[in-house]
Amino acid sequence: MTFHCKNYDINADKCNKLKGDCIPGRRGCVLEGRVKISSELQKKINELEKGKSE
Ligand code: SF4
């Protein structure tokens, strides 16, 4: 990761805000809508969203 987010728990490799994986730009993330998401990251987000709706 090339930035520091105050919500990121480096020891657990988790997002404290969302109580889950840190995927910058994911729904609810402080960076949502503020970052340009790479296609690789977008894929991760899509998988996350898909997993939630199932
Ligand atoms: S998902 Fe977003 S809010 Fe959570 S730690 Fe990662 S960058 Fe921060």
Is 35 within the bounds of a domain? yes
Instruction: Determine the atom of ligand 1 nearest the C-alpha atom of 26.
Output: 1
Which of 3, 21, 26 most suits a substitution to test ligand 1, by most atoms within 8 Å of the C-beta?
26
Beta bridge partners of 8: 15
Is 2 within the bounds of a domain? no
* Tens-place pLDDT, residues 1-54: 456 899 999 999 999 999 999 999 999 999 999 988 899 999 999 999 998 766
Give how many domains the chain has, as a whole number: 1
The CA dihedral of 34, 20, 10, 32, to the nearest 10 degrees, is 0
SS3 of residue 19 by DSSP: coil
Residue 23's domain comprises 8-53
Cβ(7) – ligand 1 distance below 6 Å: yes
pTM, 2 dp:
0.78
CB atoms within 10 A of CB 22: 19
DSSP 40-52: HHHHHHHHHHHHH
Confidence at residue 3, expressed as pLDDT on a 0 to 100 scale: 67
The closest residue, in CA terms, to atom 7 on ligand 1 is 24
